[in-house]
Amino acid sequence: MSQVTFDMEPAPPYDFALTAGYVTHFEPRYAAESFEEGVYRRLLDLDGLLALAEVRSAGGPGAPRVAVTLWGEGLDAAAAELARAQLALLLGTEDDVRPFYEMARADDALAPLVDALYGLHVPQAASVYEALTLSIVGQQISAQVARMLRGLIIETFGRRAEFDGKSFYAFPRPDAVAAASIDDLRALKLSQRKAEYVLGVAKRVASGELDLEGLRGLPAAEVVERLTAIRGVGPWTAHWLLISALGERDGFPSGDLALQRTMGALVGGGAPMAAAECLAYSEQWSPHRSYVTTYLFASTRAGRVRQSPPS
């Protein structure tokens, strides 16, 4: 077992606990990740090498620094750089929230969110494939059921490693899921349609037919057009991927029911807002709507803004 350590310096202001907590939905464990006693952990797949990343805060919001320890077999400088790049996405360390803050502090609705969640950055998935798979699984079901299904997929198809007697799982590679059958996925409680969608995406990515990483850097409208051409991917999933995987600063999944309820509680007088209303209202927050979305979701996950009940 080898060990590699390095530090990362996130763009300030950065609150490690808030950002890592958002990743795990403010639960000790969520899907492939955990955040317990101030330590974020995830098993990384570094081009075939498995490494457990343990990340701790080593600074404050104004002068942030995080300390990373990697555990695994055969780790070297190249693996450390791959880990650094993945963790930068997973923990949003290169995200610059300052332009968003300048806008939000002048907005009566957003200013309290910035104060309550000061230093929260926008995390992204380690790969577009991961974000797309999890988004498909989470469509039109409760957060609790989505969490269960995501965990089952990861533990069934992901590679496993043990550290100090505990099992950790990396997010499954496309070829591992592509080798499964519809019945295998149905056994994990996925619906017939979702099993077809998840398997279809995995097979196309594994074969090289679908290049999801090639979406990075493309205009948002083109990304949405390409994504919605994939079976099982609608506008909600496409707009959510802009935020959760592609670094788009102005994504806004107005069709999200939780977002509609939160918007209603925040600016709609209490009643849930329709998708068109949400989208129209959000125009005043452009080009920072990915941050608004993240802060709204974080506020409900952390219990800092109560959602209005469904109409």
Q: What is the DSSP string of 192-235?
A: HHHHHHHHHHHHHHHHTS--SGGGTTS-HHHHHHHHHTSTT--H
Last residue of a domain, one of 239, 264, 298: 239
Per-residue pLDDT at 78: 94
Number of domains observed in the structure of the chain:
3
Range of the domain at 254: 96-120+247-311
In this structure, what DSSP letter does residue 50 have? E
**Tens digit of each residue's pLDDT, the chain (311 residues):** 899 999 999 999 999 999 999 999 999 999 899 999 999 999 999 999 999 999 999 998 899 999 999 999 999 999 999 999 999 999 999 999 999 999 999 999 999 999 999 999 999 999 999 999 999 999 988 889 999 999 999 999 999 999 999 999 999 999 999 999 999 999 999 999 999 999 999 999 999 999 999 999 999 999 999 999 999 999 999 999 999 999 999 999 999 999 999 999 999 999 999 999 999 999 999 999 999 999 999 998 876 544 433 33
Query: Is there a single domain that holds both residue 115 and residue 258?
Result: yes
| 109 and 142 belong to one structural domain | no
Tokens of 179: 């080798």
* Strand partners for 67: 7, 56
- Beta-carbon contacts of 236 under 8 Å, excluding residues fewer than 6 positions away, are 139, 253, 255, 256
* 289-301 vs 16-23: helix crossing angle, rounded to 10: 80
225 and 132, same structural domain?
yes
Task: For residue 147, give both structure tokens.
Answer: 């969490």
| Final residue before a domain boundary, out of 239, 270, 298 | 239
Categorise residue 137: left if φ over 0, alpha if ψ from -120 to 50, beta otherwise. alpha
259 to 120, 223, 240: CA distances (angstroms): 18, 21, 11
**Residue where a domain stops, chosen among 211, 239, 267:** 239
Compute the C-alpha angle 84/90/96, nearest 5°: 90
Query: Is there a contact between 24 and 30 (Cβ–Cβ < 8 Å)?
Result: yes
Residue 214 region, left (φ>0) first, then alpha (ψ -120 to 50), else beta? alpha
Q: How many helices (H) and strands (E) does the chain have?
A: 14, 8
285 and 200, same domain (yes or no): no
Polymer length in residues for the chain? 311
Give me the pLDDT at residue 232, please.
96
Is residue 211 part of the annotated active site? The answer reads no
**108 shares its domain with 253:** yes
Q: Interhelix angle for 128-137 vs 235-244, to 10°? A: 140
Torsion, Cα 281 284 289 291, to 10 degrees, reads: -110
- Helix axes of 257-267 and 289-301: crossing angle, nearest 10 degrees: 90
